[in-house]
Structure 1
Amino acid sequence: MRVNTTFQLLVSAALASALAPGLQLAYSLERPTQGISISADGRKFLSQRYSLTDPPQAVELINGNTTVLYPNVAWNSYNASNSSSDPRKTFVSIDGARIGPDGRYWLVDGGSTGVNGSTKLVGVNLTTDSVDKIYYLSSITGSEGDIDDVRFNAAQTVAYLSDTSGALVVLDLGTGKGVRVLAEDSTAQAWYPMMYNGTLVPGYGQAGSTLSVGLDQIEVSPDGKYLYYQPCNGGLYKVETAYVDATLTNATLAGSLGDYAEPVTLTPSTGGTTIDADGNIYVSDTNLLAIWMVTPEGRATILVQDEALLWTDLMWVTSDKKLWLPASQMRPGGDGLMASGPNYIFTYPIDAGPSPIDHA
C-alpha cells in the first residue's frame, strides 16, 4: 500500500520543522502504527492496531512508505462474521509485537473474549517468512482477551507476557506450559485511572466511566537479572528473573512472587516502554505527550516532549543509538478509540544501543 500523497508530504515537512530538538520524522503512514520492530539486517515490521474501521494487522515496511501484510495475507484475514475464519491461525487482536533475541518476529495476539483459541503468542521465522512457533494461552490465563506484551529471559527459554487484567504470565518455551502470577498483588493492579493529554481517559462502560489497566509494560535488564513491570497507569517495579522463572516449578513461590518485588520509580500513565544496553528504560507519557528516561537507579527525567508524540506505544532501540517512537495516535474519546491520522513514526538520539538480550 502506497501511503504518501503530495499533501501528506507537505504536512510532514511542516511538522518536521516544528518538532522538539532532536526529534525527527522518519515515516508518515496512512494507518495508525502501534509498534515498530527492526531486524539486525534492517527490515522494519509494524503492528497497526488502532483504527475505528480496520482490523489489526502486521505489515513489513518496504521501499519508503509501502507496506505489505506480514507474514502473509492469510494470517491477517480474520473475520468475526465469517464462521470459517479460524482464530487459531489468524491474528484476532494484535497487541505486543517485537523481534526477540532469537531473531524471530513475535506477535502477541490478545484475542477476544469468547473466541476460542484467539489468545496466543506467534513466532515468525524471518528467514522463511513463515510462522514456526505458536503458543496458545487461554489454558494458562483462563480467559481470552487480556494478554498484551512479551519479553524473554536471557537464556531465551522463558517468555514473560503481561496480562492487563492485572497479572503476569510466565511461559516455558520448551514445553509450552506456563503459570499466571501476581494476580492478587497490588503491584500488578491499576490504582488510578489513566491520563491522556491532561484528562482522565474515558472508559468503555457507562457514561462517566474511566479507564484503568493493570500490568502492561514489561522489560528485562541487559544482564538478565531483573524483570521490570508496571500497570498501564504507572508505578514501576522490579523482581529478580530467578524468582520469576522458578514459579514454573515452585507453586509456593508462584503464590508469593509479589513479596520479592521492589519499587523502582513512580512512572506516568504509559503507552509503551523499551530498554537500552545501559539499562535505561524509556517510558512514554500519554498525559504530557512525552518520553521519560528511567535509569537503573530509578532516577526519572523527561527526555523529550512534543505534542506530536500522541500515545507513543511500542518503541525500539537500534544499534546506531536511535530511539524509534511510533505515535499510535490513540485519542480516547466518545468513540472509545481514536481520531484519524496523520500517523507518524519518529526517531530520537540516545546514548546507547539495544540491550544485547532484548532484541536482535
Structure 2
Amino acid sequence: MSFARLSLARRHLLAGGLAALALPAVAAEGGSPAPGGTAVASRKASPMELALAANAPSTPTGLAISHKGRVFVMMPRFTGKEPITVGEVSPDGSVKAYPDQATNTPDAGQPQATFFHVPNGVFAPDDSLWLLDSGLPEGKGAPVPGGAKLVQMDLATNRIVRMIPLEAGVTPTSSLNDLRVEVRAGRQRAYITDQGQGEDGAILAVDLATGQVARRLSEHASTKSQKGVVKFVEERPVMQTKGDGPPQHPKGGANGIALSPDGTRLYYAPLMARRLYSVETAGLLDPKVTDTEVAATVKDLGEKGMTGGLTTDSKDRVYLSLQEHNAVGRRDPDGTITVIASDPRLIWADTFWITADRWLYISGAQVNRRPEFNHGKDLQQPPYAILRMRIDADPVDGLSQ
C-alpha cells in the first residue's frame, strides 16, 4: 500500500461521514519556563491531517509502517478477551489479524509460536517487522513461561522467520512495553522498556546476533513510576476505578524509548512521570559493566510533560507524545521543547513513525477512555485516528522508529 493510497483512503473515509475525526486542528501552545531548566519555545502549533481511521477491535497502542506503506497496529490484551493483538490496517480502515487468526490465538502450549500481548512493533532497515510480545495472558500477572519474546516477521511471506526468547530479562511483575531495533555494520541490537505492573520498571538490551538479554536499571529512579503524579487527558484526570472503591493513581514505569542517531544514547521515560532520561548504550550488554556503572551514565534531561511514545529524527531531536494536550512536542538537543502540532482527534497520543518522505505519523489510542478508568464503562469510540504531519528531517539510518 503506497502513501498515495493512504491519502486516497483518508479522503474516502472523510467522505464516508467520519465527522468526529474531521475536526480542525486546534491552535497554539504558549511558552514558559519548565521545571528543571528546560526551555519551552512559544509558537503556533501546526495542523495535522488524518492519514487513516483504524477500525481496530480493541485499543491500538502500537503503530508501524513498512517502506512500501503497509500499516500495522498492535493491540495489547488488557483483559484477555481481545480477539487479536496484531493487525494490518487496510486502506478502508478495516483491521485484520496479522499474520493470521491462529497466530493471534494465544496458546500456553505453544508460547513461542503464538501471540499473547503485543504492545508494539517496529520495522528494521531490511523492512522485516519485529514484534514485542510481553507474554501476558490478560495484561497482568506473571508472563506465560516462554511467552515473552521478540518475533521477526518476513513481509514477503507473512511468516515468522525468527524468535528470540526474553525469559532471561523478565520478572513475575514485568510488562514489556516499547521496542527499538538497531541494525548496522557490526551491531544488531534491540532495546525494550519494561513498564512493570507496579512502581518499578527496567530497560532490556538484546543482542540480536546471539540472543543475549540483559536487564538494566531495574528499580532505578529513572525507570520508576512517579508516586502521586496525575495525568490529565481530555480535561479529566486519568484514575483507575474498580467497583465502589476510591479512584487510584495508575502506575507505569519505563515506557517510551528512542535512540540517538549514532546509537550511543537511549532516550526513555516512565509512563507516569514528567521527566526525560537518557543512558549510554555502550555498557548495556557488556557483562563486565556493572549495574552501578550503567546507572552512572544516566542523564536527567528535564521536564518533558506527560508522554507515551517517543522517537528521534536524523537531527537528534526527540519527539514527544504530549498526552495531556492532544499534541506533539519536539525536544531539540539544546533542551528546547516546542509544541509542533495539536489536534483534538489525537486522544492519548501514543506511537510515532517517521517515513522516508518526511511524514511523522502518530496514533491516538484512546487509552484514557478504557473501562478501567471510567467505572467499568467503555468510552472508546472507534475508529481510532492515525494522524500525520510533515517534518523537516529524515528518519534515522540503521534504526527502527
| Cα deviation code 1:91-120 (max 9, x no counterpart) | 111112111234221111112234222221
Partner of 1:54: 82
Q: CA deviation at 1:292?
A: 0.9
The answer for the alignment partner of 2:374 in structure 1 is: 333
Partner residue in 2 for 1:195: 231
Deviations along 1:73-93, one digit per CA (max 9) or x if unpaired, are 2211226xxx76x33321111
Corresponding residue for residue 3 of structure 2: none
2:258 is equivalent to residue 219 of structure 1:
yes
- Shift of residue 303 of structure 1? 1.4
Question: Which residue of the partner structure matches residue 228 of structure 1?
Answer: 267
1:244 aligns with 284
- Distance in 2 (CA, whole Å) between partners of 1:336 and 1:138 is 35
1:141-174: per-residue Cα shift (whole Å, max 9, x none)? 2336411111134534221110112111111212
Inter-partner Cα distance in structure 1 for 2:236 and 2:20: 28
2:152 is the counterpart of 1:123: yes
Change beyond 3 A, Cα 1:47–1:355: same
1:19 and 2:25 correspond: yes
Give the letter aligned to residue 179 of structure 1: A
Aligned residue runs from structure 1 range 171-320, under 5 A: 171-192=206-227, 193-197=229-233, 198-203=235-240, 207-233=246-272, 234-246=274-286, 249-252=287-290, 254-320=291-357
Q: Distance in 1 between matches of 2:212 and 2:193?
A: 16
- State the partner residue of 1:342: 383
Matched-pair contact (CA < 8 Å) for 2:48–2:342: no
Quote the Cα distance in structure 2 between the aligned partners of 1:201 and 1:143: 26
Inter-partner Cα distance in structure 2 for 1:219 and 1:269: 16
Please give the alpha-carbon distance, in whole angstroms, between the structure 2 residues aligned to 1:230 and 1:34: 16
Query: Please, what is the CA RMSD of the aligned residues?
Result: 2.7
How far residue 301 of structure 1 moved from its aligned partner, in angstroms, is: 1.7
- Name the count of aligned residue pairs: 350
CA distance in 1, matches of 2:379, 2:314: 34
C-alpha distance in 1, partners of 2:282/2:174? 28
> Structure 1 residues 242 and 154, CA, compared in 2 at 3 Å: closer, same or farther?
farther
How far does residue 339 in structure 1 lie from its aligned partner after superposition? 2.3
Q: Tell me if structure 2 keeps the 8 A contact 1:291–1:304.
A: yes
Distance 1:270 1:337, change over 3 A: farther
Do 2:21 and 2:385's aligned partners in 1 also have CA atoms closer than 8 Å? no
Q: CA deviation at 1:345?
A: 0.9
Q: Secondary structure at the match of 1:157?
A: strand
**SS of the residue 2:100 aligns to:** coil
State the identity %: 27
Structure 1 position 7, deviation (Å): 9.5
> What TM-score does the superposition give when structure 2 sets the normalisation length?
0.79
Alpha-carbon distance between aligned partners in 1 of 2:335 and 2:158, rounded to the nearest angstrom: 39
Moved more, 320-329 or 62-71: 62-71
Note the C-alpha offset of 1:13.
4.9
Seen in structure 2, the aligned counterparts of structure 1 residues 35 and 9 have a Cα distance that, compared at 3 Å, is: farther
Instruction: Give a deviation string over 1:327-349, Cα, whole Å, max 9, x none.
Output: 11112322387523232111112
What SS does the corresponding residue of 1:256 show, helix, strand or coil?
A: helix
- Supply the distance in 2 between the matched residues of 1:71 and 1:111 (Cα, whole angstroms): 18
Does the 8 A contact of 2:259 with 2:311 survive in 1?
no
| Residue pair 2:217, 2:295 contacting (<8 A) in 1 also | yes
* Distance change >3 Å, CA 152–CA 194, structure 1 → 2: farther
Return closer, same or farther for 1:160/1:64 CA change in 2, 3 Å cut-off: same
Report whether the alignment pairs 1:37 with 2:64.
yes
Q: In the alignment, which of 85, 103, 109 is matched to residue 75 of structure 1?
A: 103
> Which residue type is aligned with residue 149 of structure 1?
D
2:295 alignment partner AA: G
Aligned residue for 1:161?
Answer: 192
Task: Kindly state the Cα deviation for residue 294 of structure 1 after the two structures are TM-superposed.
Answer: 0.9
Cα deviation, 1:276-297, whole Å, max 9, x if unaligned, reads 2222111112212211111122
CA distance in 2 between counterparts of 1:169 and 1:255 reads: 16
Amino acid at match of 2:232: Y
The worse-fitting range, judged by mean Cα deviation, of 19-28 and 50-59 is 50-59
Deviation at residue 240 of structure 1 after TM alignment: 2.0
| Cα distance in 2 between the residues matched to 1:110 and 1:334 | 26
Instruction: Answer whether contact 2:112 2:163 (CA < 8 A) is retained.
Output: no
Unaligned runs of 5+ in 1: none
